[in-house]
Structure 1
Amino acid sequence: MILIINCGSSSLKYQLYTPDLAQVVASGMIAKIGEPEGYIDHFVGHRGEHHRCPVPNHRAAFALMMEYLQSPEYHVIECPRAITAIGHRAVHGGSVFFGSVLVDDAVMKALHECASYAPLHNPCNIIGIEEAQRMFPGTPNVVVFDTAFHQTIPARAHMYALPYELTQEHGIRRYGFHGTSCRYVSQRAADLLNRPIESLSMVVCHLGNGVTMDAVKGGQSIDTSIGFGTFGGVPMGTRAGDFDPAIIFHLVKDRGMSLEEVEEICYKKSGLLGLSGLSNDMREVSEAAAKGNARCQLAVDVFVYHIRKTIGAYAAAMGGLDALVFTAGIGENSAEIRAKVCEGLGFLGVEIDPRANEIARKGHPNISAISARAATLVVPTDEEKMIAIDTVQLTMAQPGAASVQMGHAPSTHGVAAS
């Protein structure tokens, strides 16, 4: 069995696959770790169970997961030895990791060194790996990085026009996120179009509470919207997206705010929530906009405008557009947002069929109009499946393959990356 772990600051998500990855045997989430009202949602097939219980720490969360996986009621696994490989999600690989890797001491050391790049995420990912090593001694662990897919972005796109030494000495550059999702979705889109991915120029719109826009040309990321941190690019649920950094200086110097206050505004009080004054949930914002709430309508308009503008920019960067792909919570579920984004993109060959757009989630991914020159697809993301695929490939690889995607290669810094 292949176990996939996504360890967050207060949650543990897991999926258990058959060795051939053909079936998800069990899945679940343990939430509110370290809080009084912890709980587990555990699913086996169509059966589900919700149970509230205190989960004081991540070690207790792993024990709870194993209790449910080994429960006689479900008969999922007999003992920990039934787990033959474990895959983990890590948000940020810095300039060290170019792809997924088998975990060894050198990898763990590098992971700790990358922790400061994503202080809200990476330390939790490390805890997940350490707990898995403790609970499943001798079982190989693989770590898959959200940033790795974007390591192919050339210097002209990943470099900021700041002093060159900041990139060379401190790794200040555009890293990008949601790469595991974008990698899975772009390959799936090529399969649906029955075309080799090497022949396609596509824009992947990962639209959820977090948003990544990605230009994928020939199967490689060549530009992406989120940069060094996780609040740049398109406005998100609570994150600001791109804005003039002079605003930060103004708020600190002229308005007397602390950097901590400005950071909280950028990450937690902006985006859909900040504009609408109502919610970070697009469903609630859209419903209120439809009822005449002007601020919510503004939030929708700003969100859609920045997505559409980015699509146009990426089409220009790639020299054309073969496919536009929507994924993640909003991208997969909001026919309204998809329709609004596609309005006015006819010059790129994007035209959608309104009826197909409405039924896209019912197994009809292609929402293109017959006259469209560029395909428009709705492709459900599956980051866990992508992690599982990498886990199987690396654990079946020859000895010595563990660190082939790790190291300070010239392409990670500066002009050499172009």
Structure 2
Amino acid sequence: MSNYPKTALVINCGSSSVKFAVLDPTDGHVFLNGIGEALGLEDARISWKHSGGEKTETPLGAGAGHDKALAFLVNNILADDKALLDSIVACGHRIVQGGDIYSQPTLIDDEVEENIKKVIPFAPLHNPAHLLGIDAARENFPNIPHVAVFDTAFHQTMPPKAYRYAIPEEFYTDLHLRKYGAHGTSHMFIAQEAAKMLGKPLEETCLITCHMGNGASVSAVKNGKCVDTSMGLTPLDGLIMGTRCGSIDPSVVFFLCERLHKTPQEVEKIFNKESGMMAVSGVSSDFRPIVAGIQEGNERCTLALQMYAYRLAKFIASYYVPLGHVDAIVFSGGVGENGPTTRKYVCSELEEAFGIKIDNDANYKARVYMGVDHQVISKPDSSVKLFVIATNEELMIARSAMQFVK
């Protein structure tokens, strides 16, 4: 293809990876996507796939970092399709934590990078990697705007009664300890799509959006603005997740430190990497083998899914308070989009009290990987509509970046 529309490059950097995609911000068509993996390690490598093409993978060389991965993208992958390279007019960067500094997509300059550094303590694994990606991308794409799109930005509309903690005032004023939330770009996208399905302006809707992946969060979205969300200061809070414990009594930390002589860092690792669905089920952090275990009569797998559904249902129920009424509950993310058993467990917790009725036939047919991105899984007489919507954070980031193209 020689004639491309104006496209955006979307970059999402992890501590040892960089995901990238070149897409059309108008319709979301992806012309190229790929990932650099094991960066900094012996087997650093990069793989990519053009639209309609086959996946290609090649080593980057031992110890190759984010800079070499993005240089390879420019000098090797895109060099073979100069028309696609020339079509890129903006670059959007997914940034996990923007603190209370940023509530909108922001053009990146040196000051923005410094502010991203300031909030590293709130995202110690993610923000340093984002900065590596920003520096490498600005070097390799020096003539286009680079835009930071913050996972926390969408949640900046929460009122103080929702985001403040009941701790000494100076911890908030001096240390900025408060609820920030996460997955904001996803929650914003699925809220917009749910409003379209309802046939109502976003500004006239009350929605509960559930982003259910290995990391998971739920948000209350009133008239297009977030009024509460489940994740807190960090992505550890809230729902039970793949390997994260979610909300827990803080005294458990003191107990483990004193009784088992654990350091706070060791407890943090346990809560982030060794807990959640993996710990309860004893099988996996992946929901598919857990559901298979339930079907085989595994009691730990059954308990794990019951706990997950119960916790999510309680958050959903609590969000009736700030919303007043609910037009739709939306399931998204890898589990939300492709996990009918999980959706059924969640809705069964809500049926008696709230009249929420799931259509089992529609629910078990609704798997986003089968090609339908927007589906209704509620019965006609359900008090609330139930939607399954495929999230598309890359499209939101691309559109945000294009706002800065002159």
Where does the alignment leave 5 or more consecutive residues of structure 2 unmatched?
1-6
Quick one: distance in 2 between partners of 1:370 and 1:137?
Answer: 53
Contact 1:41–1:48 (8 Å) recurs in 2 = no
Contact 1:35–1:54 (8 Å) recurs in 2 = no
SS at match of 2:404: helix
What displacement does 1:380 show? 0.3
* Percent of aligned positions that are identical: 37
Match of 2:71 among 31, 45, 63: 63
Q: 1:330-361, CA deviations, whole angstroms, 9 ceiling, x for partnerless residues?
A: 00001111111111423434212111112223
Contact 1:173–1:228 (8 Å) recurs in 2 = yes
SS at match of 2:292: helix
Q: 1:88-143, CA deviations, whole angstroms, 9 ceiling, x for partnerless residues?
A: 00000011111110112221221121222201000111111111111111221001
Contact 1:36–1:54 (8 Å) recurs in 2 = no
2:318 aligns to what? 313
Task: Determine whether 1:378 maps to 2:388.
Answer: yes
Structure 1 residues 25 and 68: alpha-carbon distance in aligned structure 2, compared to 1, 3 A threshold:
farther
What displacement does 1:36 show? 2.2
Matching residue's letter, 2:22: L
Task: Determine whether 1:121 maps to 2:131.
Answer: no
1:294 aligns to what? 299
SS at match of 2:375: coil
What displacement does 1:80 show? 5.0
Quick one: distance in 2 between partners of 1:287 and 1:246?
Answer: 34
SS at match of 2:190: helix
Match of 2:202 among 192, 197, 200: 197
1:47 aligns to what? 53
Question: Structure 1 length as normaliser, TM-score?
Answer: 0.90
1:354 aligns to what? 360
Q: 1:121-176, CA deviations, whole angstroms, 9 ceiling, x for partnerless residues?
A: 00111111111111111221001000000001111110111112111111000000
Match of 2:250 among 222, 245, 248: 245
Task: Determine whether 1:208 maps to 2:213.
Answer: yes
SS at match of 1:173: coil
Match of 2:11 among 5, 17, 27: 5
Contact 1:18–1:24 (8 Å) recurs in 2 = yes
Quick one: distance in 2 between partners of 1:272 and 1:139?
Answer: 42
What displacement does 1:217 show? 0.8
Alignment of 1:207-286 (within 5 A): 207-286=212-291
1:404 aligns to what? none
Structure 1 residues 24 and 80: alpha-carbon distance in aligned structure 2, compared to 1, 3 A threshold:
closer
Contact 2:12–2:19 (8 Å) recurs in 1 = yes
Match of 2:33 among 5, 20, 27: 27
Count residues with an aligned counterpart: 393
Structure 1 residues 339 and 20: alpha-carbon distance in aligned structure 2, compared to 1, 3 A threshold:
closer
> Larger deviation: 258-267 or 377-386?
258-267
Q: 1:67-97, CA deviations, whole angstroms, 9 ceiling, x for partnerless residues?
A: 453253xx3x348554211110000001111
What displacement does 1:202 show? 1.1
What displacement does 1:23 show? 2.4
Quick one: distance in 1 between partners of 2:57 and 2:385?
Answer: 44
Question: Structure 2 length as normaliser, TM-score?
Answer: 0.93
CA RMSD of aligned residues (A): 1.6
Q: 1:175-194, CA deviations, whole angstroms, 9 ceiling, x for partnerless residues?
A: 00000000001001101111
Quick one: distance in 1 between partners of 2:201 and 2:140?
Answer: 41
Quick one: distance in 1 between partners of 2:26 and 2:195?
Answer: 22
2:4 aligns to what? none
Matching residue's letter, 2:98: G
What displacement does 1:388 show? 0.6
Contact 1:37–1:52 (8 Å) recurs in 2 = no
Structure 1 residues 340 and 25: alpha-carbon distance in aligned structure 2, compared to 1, 3 A threshold:
same
Contact 1:7–1:125 (8 Å) recurs in 2 = yes
Task: Determine whether 1:143 maps to 2:148.
Answer: yes
Q: 1:188-212, CA deviations, whole angstroms, 9 ceiling, x for partnerless residues?
A: 1101111111221111111110001
